Structure 1
Amino acid sequence: MNYLMKNIAKALTLTIGLLGTTACSDFLDQTSPSELTTETISQSTYYTGLAVNKIYGGLLKDETYSQYIPIVWGLNSDCELVDGLGSDASNTSSERGNMNYNANPGWANLSKVWNAMYEIIENANLAIEMVDQSPLATAGGSDQKIMERYKGEALTLRAMIYFDLIRFFGDVPMKLESSKDDLSNAYLGKTDRDEIMDTLMVNLEEAINLLPWAGEVSTYTTEHVTKGYAHALLANIALTRAGWAIREKAKDGYETASYTDATYPTQRCDATKRKEMYELALKHLSSVITNGTHKLNPSIENEWYLLNQLKLDQTYRENIFEIPMGLGSTGELGYTVGVRINGSSSQYGAKGNSSGKLKLTAPFFWSFDKKDLRRDITCCNLQLKETSGILKEEMLGNTPFAIYCGKWDIRKMSEEWRSIAISVGNSKWMSGINCVRMRYPQVLLMYAEVMNELSGPDGNYTGDAGMTARQALSEVHCRAFAEADKNAAASYITAIPADKDAFFNAIVDENAWELAGEGFRKFDLIRWNLLAEKINEFKTDYVAQLEDETNGYPEKIYFNYSDEAKTQIDMSSVTWYGLPDGKSESDYDDKKDFFGKERTDAKQTQLTTNLPSISSGLVGDNVEVINRYLLPIASTTISASNGTLYNSYGYSN
C-alpha cells in the first residue's frame, strides 16, 4: 500500500494544514499550526476537530468523491454507461475500457483511488486513537460529548471508505490502527470482505451511540455524518453482507449461484445468516424512519434544484449525508456529469463543460411512466450550444447510449457559480455541488426490500417502522408524480401482485427510476446478482424497441419552443412517443431525428457496433471470468506491497 509506506512518519505526528476549500457550510475553513503532536491534539477539542476535518478533506479529492467515485466508479449498470462505445470500450488506459469491464491492472487511476482511500483511513485511525487516549473523552460534561461525536464521525467515515473499497476491489487489507515506526503494520495482506463488513457494522453500532441526529447539534448539518447516516450505512452494509459476491475461492456453507464462474464462484451466505442481516438492517432502517429527522421532500424537482443551488435542505433533510464540496475548488458534478454546455458561451464561460463521462440509455428513458417527473429530471436529451452569440437548447437526436444525466443541471445553478465558470477562462471549473452518499428514498427502498424478504409485500414484522413494504415503496413512487397524477401512481403500486418475487422486481425497477446516475445502482445489482442479467436485458430491450415500428422509438420527434427567439425547448411539447392523435408536423416549431432513425440508417452503428461493445468484458462473447465486476488492484500497488498483495479473478499482477 503506497500511502502507508510513504507516510509512516505520520504515525506519531499529525500535520494539519489549511484546507483550502469552501463549502455550503464553513466547518472545513479552519486554520491551524503547521505541526502538532498527538498528545497536544488529544487534549483539545479544537485540535481534535481539525484532525477530524482532515478526514473530510480527503473526501474532496478528484481521486475520491469530487470526481472518481460519484461519476465513474459506479459504471456500468443496466441504465448508466461510461462514454466508451465501439473501439473505445476496450481502451484499458482510461475509464472507457475499465468501466466496460475490460479492466487492466496497469490503469493509473487504480492506484490513485487506492492510495487516496487508505490515506483517509489512516487519518481516521489517527483521529480515533486521539479520542481514545484523550483525558477529555472520560472527563464528563460538554468536552466529553464533543470528543465522542468526533470519534463517531471518524468511525463512520472509515466505515464508508472501507465499504466502497470492498465494492470496488473485493477483499482488501483491513487496517484499524495508525502506522507504526517499525513498519510492522505497513505490509498487510487481504482480509476477507465478510470479516471487514462484520467489523464495520460493530464500529457503526458504536458510532450511532456517539453521534447526534442532523440538526440536534447546531453545527451538525447533513454535511457531517450523523446518527441517521450511520444507521443507513450500517443497513446498506448488512444487505451487502447478505447478498451475492464473486469470491476468490469457494466458501464452505455458502450458496453458489447458477450464473457463476467455476474458479471464482458467485456466492452468498446461508439462509440463517441472511435473515440475521435482514433483521439487523430492519432495525436500523426503522430507526431512521421513525425518528423523523429525514423525510422525502414533497417536490422532487425542488430537491434537485436545491442541490444545484448549493443549498442544504434544512426542512426535510432528504439527503442524509452530503460530502461538502467547495464552489470553485472541488466537485465535478455538473462539469464531468450533467447537462452539457457544448463549447464556449457568453453566459457560462469559455470552457463549457465536459459532462460526457456518464451517460444514460434509451431503454431506461423508455421505461418511465410518461407522467413520472423523474424522467425529464434524470434524462436530458438536449445540450446547450452558443452559435453566433445566441445560446440555444438543441436536441441530441439518435443517441440511444449517450443521454446526459440531467440531475446536475447548469441551468439551475446560481449566479455565484456562473461567475466562477466565467472567471476561470478556458480551464476546468469546479461546481461545488455536494456529493450525496445517502438519500432518504434509499432508506425507504432498502426498507421495502427487507420487509418484503421477511414478511412479504403486505406483512408486518417485529421491529418494523409501522409500514409495510408496499407502503414504503408507494412513498417513493408516488412522490415522483404531480398531484393530478398521484392516484394513477398509487394504482400502479396497488396492482403489484402480493408475491415476494413480483414485488422484489418492482423494487428493482424503482431503484433505477429513483437513483440512476448517482453511483449506487451498479452495487445494488451486484448484491442481487442481477448485474449481468440486467445489462443483457437492456440490450434486448433496445433491439425490441427499435424493431417495434408501431410502439417503439419514433424516427423523428417534434417540439415547440417556449420563447419567441426559439432558444428554449418546451419539454412538455416533445412528441417522444409519436405524434399525438389530431396533431401533425405543422403544429410544431422544429423536429429532430430520434432513436428510431437507426432502423433506416445505412451503417446502423448504434445497433451493430456500439451496442455489442457496451460492458463487453462482463457480457460479451469472450468473457474471461463470469461475473467479474470487480476491478483489479493496480500493478504498482502490488509491486510496492512487499509480496503481501496479489490479483485474483484472472487478472495479472
Structure 2
Amino acid sequence: MKNIFLILATLIFFGLSSCKKFLETSSPSSLSSQTVFSSASMAKAAVMGLYGDMTNTYIYGQKLSVNWQGVTDIESNGAFTESGYNSTSSDAGAGNYYGSQYNSTTRWSSLYDYAEISTAAVEGIRQSPILESDSATMKPLLGEALVMRSLAYFNLVRYWGAVPFKRETSRSDLSNVYAGRTDIDTIYHYIVEDLQEAVKLLPWLGTSSEYGSAERITKGYAMGLLAKVALFAGGWSLRDGNLFPDSKAVHNNNIPEQGGYYVGRPQNWKDYYKIAADITAQMLASTDNPHKLDPSYIDIWQKVCGQLPNPYNENLFEVAFGMGNNGDIGSLMGYNVAGNSKYGTRSFGGSYVTSTAYYFYSFDKEDTRRDATLTWFSYTAENKETMGNNPINVSFAKWRIYWTTDAFLAMQKTATSRIATGINWILMRYSDIYLMYAEAQNELAGPDVANDFANGLTPRQALETVRARAFGAGSAEITKYDPDFFKAIVNERAWEFGCESIRKQDLIRWGLLYDKVEEMKKALCLMLDDSKSVTIMDKTYQPSSFPKKIYYKFSDNQYIDPSSPNYYADLPADPGTPYTELDWFPTTMAKPEKNPKPTSNYIIYPIRILVTGTGLYPSYDYGSFLGSMTNGSEIQESLAQYPMGNGGIYYRYPYAVYYEDIYESKGAIQSSYGY
C-alpha cells in the first residue's frame, strides 16, 4: 500500500530538534511555525510528518502494537515462563505488571515528543493567516493534528496514569516545561474536547482523493476515537490519593485500597458514556458514513497483510508503514515460520504475543473468528506445516506470511536480519463502533432501548450484527450469548479483537483486569488437571470435552486441513492414513507413571501459568485453589520458590516513570503507584 507520509514531510517539520531534557520536548528551529503554516502545502507536509512519526518503535512501530499488549485473559506477553516473568528490565516483565523506574523499555519519551510536535501543528494551523481563506485545506489538517495529539495523551494517560499535560508548545525559556502530574480526569476532559472539535473539521473517508485512504485520519476514526476516549474517561483507573487528595472520584469497592492508592472513576461517568453512545449512534445511523463491516472476518487480515485497502472500509484508520523501512507487524507475532524454509533463512511470526488453549476453547466451534485469530499450526524448515500441542503457546493467526506481498516475500527470502513487513497497524475497525455503542447505550438504558440518534438500532441488535458476521446470517448462534448483557459485551470484545492491543486496556477500564486474568489462569490449570468441569467465559467443559489425542490430515503436500482436527472429543478409533496422530494436552500434561520430577509438565506448566501476571496485586496465595487439583500439593511445594506480587499496590497496571525523566523534571515529578 502506498505510504502517504513519504512526501517531503521529513524535510521541514518546522522546528523541533530534541534537547533530551524533561519529557524529551524540543525548542523552536530556524524555520518558524509562522513560515510553515502560511503555506497550505507546507502545512500539509508538516501534518504528514506526524503520520511518519507514528511509526517510531516506541509508538506504533513496535511498543503500542506488539510489546505492550501485556498479559490478559486472551493474550500473553510472550510465552508463559517460570524465569524472567518478574523482570524489571524488560517488556516481558512489564507485561506481567512488574515495573521499575529503571526499565528503559517502558519509557514515555517518544510519546511526549509526539505530543509536542502535534501540539506545534495544532498551534501553527490555528494561528495560520490562511486558516479561513483556505479553510477547505487547513481545517481538515487541524482536525488531523488534534486527533494525533489526542492519541499521544490518550496513550500516555492509559499506560502511565496521571502524567504531565499541557496544550501549548514548550516555550523557549522552558517556563512551561517543568510541570507535575495532572489529574487523570482533567486530561480526559481536554482530550474529549479536542476530539469533539476534530469530528466537526474532518471529512468522511472517500469524499475526496485527498482523504481517499484509511491511512489518513477522517471523520469516522475521529468519531470512533471520541467514543473510545469517552469510555475510558468514564471507566475505572488506578488513582493516587496522596497526590490528588481532593479528588471526588467514585471508588471501586470490588478492588482493595492500600497506601492511598485506589481504583476510581469520575462521578459524572455516565456523561462520558452518553458521549460515547451518542457519537457511535450518529455514526451508525449516518447516510454519509462510508464504513461497513467486511462480510468476511478473515478477509480483513488477508487484505492488510497483502497491503491492500479493505473494500468495505472496515478499517477506520491504519498506521501506514513502509516495507523494509519500519514496522514489525507480523514479524514478531502471528503465524510462525521456521528459518531455513522456502521463505528464507530468517524466521517469521513468533512469540512476542501469543495465546492459550483457554482462549481457543472460549470460542464457539462455529465462530469463524476462531481459526482466523488463532492457529496451532506452524511452518517448518521441511517446507510443510506441523501441529503444536502446547496449551500455553498458541499462535495468533491474523498475520501470515503467505498473505504478504510478492515484494515482501522476495525481500524475506534473501534477508539476513529481521526486515520491516510494511503491514499497516489497524487502530480501529468498524465492529468497534457497533460494540462501543452496544456497551455505552446498555449502561444508560439497557440492551433493548435504542439511542435517540441510532435510527432504532438497539444495543442488542448492534451486538448481534457483529455476531452475524462471525457465524453467518441466519445462524442460531447469533442470539446465543450470556444473558447478562454486559458480560456478553466483555466476551464479544475478546473474540472480536484478539491480539489487536485492545483487551488489556478494556479490562482495565472495566475494573476487571485482575479478575479476568485469574479466571484464565485457574481455568487453564483445571484444563491441564483434566479431572473436573471448567468454565471458560460463557461455556462449561467436561474433561471428556478435551480429547486425549488429536488426529489431523493435510489438504496438500504443505498445509494442514484446518477442518480436520478433532478438538472437542476423542474419536472412537484411530482413523489411520492419511491422518497424523498427536497427543493433546490431557495426555502431555498428565503425571508420568515413572520418574515424576519437579520439572515434569504436570508441575511446571501450572507454575508457569500461576506466576503469570502476578505483578498486578501485592501478593498471591493459590493454596486453596491448588487443594482442589489432583496434584495440587506437589505443585504448591514447587510454587513456593517463585516470588509473586508487587508488595504494596492493588491493580498496579501503570508503568513507572523512567528515572532520568524524574531527575530531569527538577522536582516536578515524583514516582507514584508504589514505584
Query: Aligned residue for 2:333?
Result: 337
Residue of structure 2 equivalent to 1:222: 214
1:248 aligns with 2:240: yes
Name the counterpart of 1:233.
Answer: 225
- Structure 1 equivalent of residue 111 of structure 2: 117
Q: Deviations over 1:331-382 (max 9, x none)?
A: 211101111112222x322211252110111111111100111111111112
Aligned-pair CA distance for 1:253: 5.0
Q: Could you say which residue in structure 1 is the equivalent of 2:366?
A: 371
* 2:553 corresponding residue in structure 1: 560
- Using the TM superposition, give the Cα deviation of residue 125 of structure 1 relative to its aligned residue in structure 2, in angstroms: 1.3
Q: Structure 1 residue aligned with 2:2, among 21, 24, 29?
A: 24
Q: Deviations over 1:608-636 (max 9, x none)?
A: 32111210212552432111111111112
From 58, 63, 83, the equivalent of 1:87 is 83
The yes-or-no answer on 1:643 pairing with 2:667 is yes
Q: Match for 2:553: what amino acid?
A: N
The structural deviation recorded for 1:70 is 1.0
How far apart, CA to CA, are the structure 2 residues paired with 1:434 and 1:196? 29
Deviations 1:278-322 (A, max 9, x none): 211111111221223211001111111101111111x31111111
Could you say which residue in structure 1 is the equivalent of 2:31? 36
Classify 1:418/1:463 alpha carbon distance in 2 versus 1 (closer, same or farther; 3 Å).
Answer: same
Partner in structure 1 of residue 190 of structure 2: 199
Q: C-alpha deviations, 1:590-649, integer Å up to 9, x for none?
A: 122322221235412553321112102125524321111111111121112111112111
Say whether 1:260 aligns with 2:242: no
Q: Confirm whether residue 475 of structure 1 aligns to residue 471 of structure 2.
A: no
Aligned CA distance change for structure 1 residues 339 and 253 (closer, same or farther; 3 Å): closer
Alpha-carbon contact 2:103-2:658 (below 8 Å) kept: yes
Q: Tell me which of 278, 295, 307 is aligned to 1:310.
A: 307
**Could you tell me how far 1:31 is from its partner in structure 2?**
6.3
- Give 2:423's match in structure 1, choosing from 403, 422, 433: 433
Q: Which residue in the other structure is 1:626 paired with?
A: 650
Counterparts in 2 of 1:93 and 1:33: CA distance versus 1, 3 Å = closer
One-letter identity of the residue aligned with 1:29: I
Q: TM-score, normalised by structure 2?
A: 0.86
- For 2:402 and 2:454, locate their aligned partners in 1 and report how far apart those are by CA, in whole Å: 41
After TM superposition, give the deviation of residue 428 of structure 1 in Å.
0.9
| Superposed CA offset, 1:26-75 (max 9, x none) | 34333675673322211111111111111111101111101110112121
Counterpart for residue 632 of structure 2: none
Change in 2 beyond 3 A, CA 1:31/1:59: closer
Distance 1:226 1:278 in 2: 22
Aligned match for 1:526, one of 488, 494, 508:
508
Pick aligned residue for 1:134 from 128, 147, 153: 128
The change in CA–CA distance for 1:274 and 1:427 in structure 2 (over 3 A counts) is: same
Residue 55 of structure 2: aligned partner: 60
1:542–1:465 CA distance, 2 compared to 1 (3 A): farther
User: What residue is the counterpart of 2:147 in the other structure?
Assistant: 156
Matched, 1:611 2:609: yes
Structure 1 residues 32, 506: closer, same or farther in 2, change over 3 A?
closer
1:146 aligns with 2:141: no
How far, CA to CA, are the matches of 2:10 and 2:392 in structure 1? 48
Q: Tell whether the 8 Å contact from 1:334 to 1:409 is kept in structure 2 after alignment.
A: yes
1:226-269 per-position Cα deviation (integer Å, ceiling 9, x unaligned): 11111111111111111111101163352332212222111122
Q: Contact conserved, 1:52 with 1:150, CA < 8 A, in 2?
A: yes
- Going from structure 1 to structure 2, the CA distance change for 1:54 and 1:310 (only over 3 Å counts) comes to same
Letter in 2 for 1:160: L
Asked if 1 retains the 8 angstrom alpha-carbon contact of 2:439 and 2:489, the reply is: yes
Question: Partner amino acid for 1:639?
Answer: Y
Structure 1 length-normalised TM: 0.89
Separation (CA, whole Å) in 2 of partners of 1:304 and 1:405 = 12
In structure 1, C-alpha distance between the alignment counterparts of 2:396 and 2:495, rounded to whole Å: 12
Shift of 1:583: 5.2
Quick one: distance in 2 between partners of 1:466 and 1:433?
38
**Worse-matched range after superposition: 233-242 or 552-561:** 552-561
- Structure 2 match to 1:463: 453
Q: Deviation digits for residues 448-490 of structure 1, max 9, x if unmatched?
A: 111211221112233334211110000111201245xx42222
Distance 1:334 1:31 in 2: 26
Question: Unmatched 5+ residue regions in structure 2?
Answer: 13-29, 532-542, 621-643
1:454 matched to which residue of 2? 444
Assess, with a 3 A threshold, how the Cα gap between structure 1 residues 32 and 24 changes in structure 2: closer, same or farther.
closer
- Shifted more, 249-258 versus 589-598: the winner is 249-258
Q: Which residue of 2 aligns with 1:170?
A: 161
Q: CA RMSD in A?
A: 1.8
In the alignment, the residues of structure 2 paired with residue 194 and residue 428 of structure 1 have an alpha-carbon distance, to the nearest angstrom, of 41
Aligned to 2:639: none
Instruction: Note closer, same or farther for the CA distance 1:358–1:31 as it changes in structure 2 (3 Å cut).
Output: closer
Of 68, 76, 95, the residue aligned with 2:71 is: 76
> Structure 2 vs 1, CA of residues 300 and 328 (structure 1 numbering), >3 Å: closer, same or farther?
same
Contact residue 257 and residue 267 of structure 1 kept, 8 A = no
2:248 alignment partner AA? D
Q: 1:461 to 1:26 in 2, by over 3 A?
A: closer
**Secondary structure in 1 matching 2:519:** helix
The answer as to whether partners of 1:558 and 1:588 remain within 8 angstroms in 2 is: no
Q: How many residues align?
A: 604
Change (3 A) 1:478 1:587: farther
Q: Residue 32 and residue 579 in structure 1: after superposition, are their counterparts in 2 closer, same or farther (change >3 A)?
A: closer
Is the Cα–Cα contact under 8 Å of residues 547 and 599 in structure 1 kept in the other structure? yes
Residues 560 and 590 in structure 1, CA contact (< 8 A), matched pair in contact too? yes
* 1:490 maps to 2:490: no
Cα distance in 1, alignment partners of residues 43 and 607 from structure 2: 56
Q: Which residue of 2 aligns with 1:506?
A: 488
Counterpart secondary structure, 1:267: strand
1:95 positional shift: 1.1
- Alpha-carbon distance between aligned partners in 2 of 1:51 and 1:410, rounded to the nearest angstrom: 34
**Separation in structure 1 between the aligned mates of residue 90 and residue 33 of structure 2, nearest angstrom:** 40
Q: Distance in 2 between matches of 1:468 and 1:598?
A: 46
The one-letter code of the counterpart of 1:594 is: W
Structure 1 residue runs without a partner (length 5+): 1-22
In structure 1, the residue corresponding to 2:674 is in which secondary structure? coil
Whether 2:273 is the aligned partner of 1:278: answer yes
